[in-house]
Structure 1
Amino acid sequence: MAPTPSDPTVSDKTEGATRIQGINRRLILDAALEVFSTYGFRGSTVDQIAEKAGMSKPNLLYYFPRKQNIYVTVLEDTLATWLEPLEHIDPDGDPLEELRRYIALKLEMSAKKPEASRLFANEILHGAPAISEFLKGHLKELVDEKAAVIHRWIAEKRIAPVDPYHLIFTIWAVTQHYSDFAVQVSAILGKRADDPNFYEEATRSVSAIILDGIKLRDENPQP
């Protein structure tokens, strides 16, 4: 009697195949991130990605039939991960603590996944052809939502009046500098940039610089 889909043997085989497919997709995307961030979309080849992933080109093409498919998926994965900290800013939390946490998480991402930041920066520099709709759609909606939260904090006199969009842009620019311009940072700081506590120090400094700029000031200081 032939096994049916409900039989344990069939179920186990299906789960095993699905697990292997998931592992292979992850291997491909991790390899692609490294290759694309180094050579750009045009300078990268499927052969390079397959070699980096440790699999044959035909095997890779089973999962992603075109280089464009791999590239877009890597960018989508990167953006989904990057936007999580912004999405989790709590409107009812303490503004300075919420922004401090956001800055810390952005710097942590720069430290752990510099390739992702460089890939995104390269895409933007080329006009964002693969993700322009995402930028105009989901990203804009999310930033508008968080800008409204910051506007509310200002109206409630919890932080100083600043343009919310420029505040968000400033956080992005400063935190991503450490990955996008890592070569420059290392050239200037030398061994200090390799210190295990470097990003902890950077987080303290960047947080102080940005957050001190939005703290409420006493309008009538005592002499």
Structure 2
Amino acid sequence: MSSLTPRGGGRVRQNNEALILAAAEETFAEYGYKGASMGLIAQRAGLPKANLHYYFGSKLALYKTVLGQILVLWKNSLDSFSSTDEPGEALARYIRDELDFAWRNPIASKVFAMEVISGGACLQAMLNDGFADWFAGRAAVFSAWTAAGKMAEVDPLPLTFLLWSSTRQYAEFAAQIGAIFQPRRPEGQGLDAIGANLTAIILKGCGVKAVRARQRLANPSQFSSNLAATGARLRME
């Protein structure tokens, strides 16, 4: 299921946009922006190519819509904690939520990764639009935790990259992770165990006391098989 949402309008428009966005997300993840075409997206969506141009205008406009929604999802996840939170609970919750999102929406992470690999021209333009101010606000949360003695002095920039990359690894490199986990499927290597290990490593590096997880992630026992299936599907399509 796609993580993207239609932009509004009547029911027919919303249904068609949902089909187009889901198809575009998968196509851009597989081929990148340059390799994808409106014809491929239309075929995958089961709609005439004219519908894509009617709703989104051009391939570039459609791509920017897909990438923009993915970026908003990423920013929203980092907006989920504040300086008044306890860092141990906030970071553990963030890691759990991001792993859960990566498991549910591996295609979105692949679109983002393909954009970065291809040079990130569209992404750079989006990040230049107020991103520095937004990131400064996120960095201020880490600084406040440090000032309050709740966390060691850690550079917010590499910490943010670490939080992002360590959780997205399981979606963006699904074929690799699935190949390692799937043949053996060792007990305890579900999503809960992965989240607990990542949390312990990151909290220890930040000088934060670990907290007990308050909730389980969705279907952890199926994590490795979903990763393998996602990687295989993208290679075969």
TM-score, with normalisation over the residues of structure 2? 0.79
In terms of Rg, which structure is larger?
A: 1
Which residue in 1 is equivalent to 2:85?
93
Give the superposition deviation at 1:84: 1.1
Change (3 A) 1:189 1:159: same
Q: Indicate whether 1:150 and 2:142 are aligned.
A: yes
Question: 74-83 vs 138-147, which deviates more?
Answer: 138-147
Looking at structure 2, the residues matched to 139 and 189 of structure 1 have their Cα atoms a distance apart, in angstroms, of 36
Matching of residues 133-148 of structure 1 within 5 Å: 133-148=125-140
- How much does 1:90 deviate? 2.1
CA contact (8 A) 2:23 2:44 kept: yes
Which residue of 62, 72, 81 maps to 1:80? Answer: 72
Q: Please say if residues 68 and 126 of structure 2, whose CA atoms lie closer than 8 Å, have aligned partners that are also in contact.
A: no
Which of 20, 30, 36 is the aligned partner of 2:12? Answer: 20
Question: How far 1:143 sits from its partner (Å)?
Answer: 1.9
Aligned to 1:173: 165
Gaps of 5+ in 2: 1-8, 210-237
Considering only aligned residues, what root-mean-square deviation do their CA atoms show, in Å?
Answer: 2.1
Instruction: Report 1:139-218 matches (<5 A).
Output: 139-191=131-183, 198-215=190-207
* Alignment of 1:109 onto 2:70: no
The answer as to whether partners of 1:50 and 1:56 remain within 8 angstroms in 2 is yes
C-alpha spacing 1:216/1:183, structure 2 compared with 1 (3 Å): closer
8 A contact 1:87–1:142 mirrored in 2: no
| Count of residues in correspondence between the two structures | 201
For 1:149, give the aligned amino acid. Answer: V
Preserved contact between residue 24 and residue 63 of structure 2 (Cα < 8 Å)? yes
Question: Quick check: 150-159 or 197-206, which moved more?
Answer: 197-206
The corresponding residue for 1:8 is none
Q: Deviations over 1:164-214 (max 9, x none)?
A: 211111111111111111111112222456989722221111111111221
Q: Percent identity?
A: 35
For structure 1, the residue ranges without an aligned partner over 5 or more in a row are 1-16, 218-223
Counterpart selection for 1:67 from 44, 59, 72 = 59
Q: Which residue of 2 aligns with 1:5?
A: none
Q: Which residue of 35, 41, 47 corresponds with 1:49?
A: 41
